[in-house]
Structures are given as structure tokens and as C-alpha cells.
Structure 1
Amino acid sequence: MTYLAPFKKRARDLSTEMWDSFSDFFNDNFFAPVHSETNFFRTDVRDCSDHYVVEAELPGFSKEDIKVEYDHHYLTISAKRESHIKDEMESFIRQERHFGEFVRRFYAKDINEDTIVATFTNGILTVKCPKISIPHIEQKRIEIH
């Protein structure tokens, strides 16, 4: 059994390694459901001083399946994936790919909605949201009378 870990693993003896491999083989239930969040995709949001950048992982989607909207200070990214089942009698032994609508919403105030730009390359959606330019007002001292 191969282990991938970001940290250095403590040294283990051969009998422990063999027992773990044996347990993994017999405890892996092939028919068990996958316990993960569905209808969810990962995103990164960066603040780049004059604009925000939202990058969303959407592998397996085409550009036509993705919709980006900005309404009432909310940036909404949605993507829809249809099931590829051709025959209703077809049954799965295990199905881990999710189908349906995937949606993420982000509150983003002070965005110039007319200049939002979205690109989709290699399964990554990149949305650049320029901020509204607010003029810098110098501090004014008020005299107390």
C-alpha cells in the first residue's frame, strides 16, 4: 500500500504495514455510498487591490454549461451537468460522479458590474471583478468653536 502524505510519516514496522493493507482490502465496501458534499465546487477568491479574482474548479463542464451572474451585490456561479445514462434499465455498481446543478454565491459589494470579465480554460473558471473606484478624500480638520 502506498501512502501519500504532506508530512513525514513515522517509521512503522512491517507487521503494521501488512495489517493495514489487509484491513484496507477487506474493509473497503465496494457498494458503500460516497460521503462527500454534492453540488459543490472549490473556489479561490483573491483581493488584488483594484479588483477581485474568483477562480472556480469546474472540470468536466463545457463553457455552455456555466452561468455567471451579478445581482444585488451577489456574484453567482452555477454549472449544470446532465446525466449520461442512455438506458433507464442501466444500473450502476458504484456511481461517484455527481449530476445536477452546482451553485456558489459570493457577496461582493462595490463591484463595477459593467466590467466583470469571465474566462474558462482547462476546467478553471476565472472571474475578474473590478472594484468601483472610490475617490480618496483627504482628511479635513473641523475647527471647534
Structure 2
Amino acid sequence: MMQNTQNFPTDIIESLLTEHHDFKVDVYESNGAYQVIAELPGYSKDDVTIQFEDKTLTIRVTQTSTTTENQDQYLIRERNSNEQSRQFIFKNVDKENIKATMEDGILSVELPINHTKTQINID
């Protein structure tokens, strides 16, 4: 019995291109705040963008590099661009006091929990 291998090379290339590599993240609650710890080896803080909007924390990392061989009249010049992002939804965050630090490839984001309740008056 012969197996259909007509799309074999295309299938391999497609699976490699669609493979997704997310950075690793730990999320927990401690000391009245949500803690988000992301492992970002090889990235600097300039490569990282953090946004908080509509209860959603977005961490995006972008890195672009260029490799050039034979500087005068280069024979090979390669560019590599990598972008990854993760999103997390949180309730009751004091968005004015969110803090972030990055050290040795570890990003730490602290999102204080707002325990204030809003009183609604009946008209």
C-alpha cells in the first residue's frame, strides 16, 4: 500500500512556520497584588512593552537583529525579527499603581488589587 506523500515538504514547512513559541509566565496573588513573572532570556527592557487596558494586561516583546558578513560589500545580510505577546485578564486592579521591573531576563509586574467598593445610591 502506497502512502500519499504529495504534500510532504509543504506540510513540514507549514508546521514549522505555524509553530508558536510563547515565553513562560507565572501568575499568582501575594500581599494584596497580582504578581506576573515572565521569563525573557535574551531580551532587554527596551524590547518589552507592557499595557493595561480594559482589565487586560498585555506583555509584548519584540527583537530585531541584523547579521552582516563581509562589511565592505556584503555578500550575506540577514535580518531576524521576533515578536511575541501574552495577555491576561484581571479583576479589581488599581491601574494607577502598577509597577514593573526587569532584571537578568526576568520581568516582574505587580498589579495591586483594589478592594474599594463603589456605593450606588438609589434615586
TM-score computed with the length of structure 2 as normaliser: 0.68
Identity of aligned residues (%): 30
Aligned to 1:100: 82
- Let me know the Cα RMSD of the aligned residues: 2.8
TM-score computed with the length of structure 1 as normaliser: 0.58
The equivalent position to 1:131 in structure 2, one of 87, 94, 113, is 113
Q: Which has the larger radius of gyration?
A: 1
Tell me, in whole angstroms, the C-alpha distance in 2 between the residues paired with 1:124 and 1:103.
15
SS class of match (2:67): coil
The equivalent position to 2:76 in structure 1, one of 90, 105, 109, is 90
SS class of match (2:46): helix
The equivalent position to 2:40 in structure 1, one of 58, 74, 97, is 58
SS class of match (2:101): strand
CA contact (8 A) 2:67 2:77 kept: no
Aligned to 1:110: 92
Q: Which residues of structure 1 form unaligned runs of 5+? A: 1-31, 93-97, 136-145
Q: Which residues of structure 2 form unaligned runs of 5+? A: 1-11, 118-123
Cα deviation, residue 49, structure 1? 5.2
Could you give the per-residue CA deviations for residues 60-96 of structure 1, whole angstroms, max 9, x where no partner exists?
Answer: 111111111100110000110103333685389xxxx
The number of aligned residues is: 99
User: Is the aligned partner of 1:68 residue 2:54?
Assistant: no
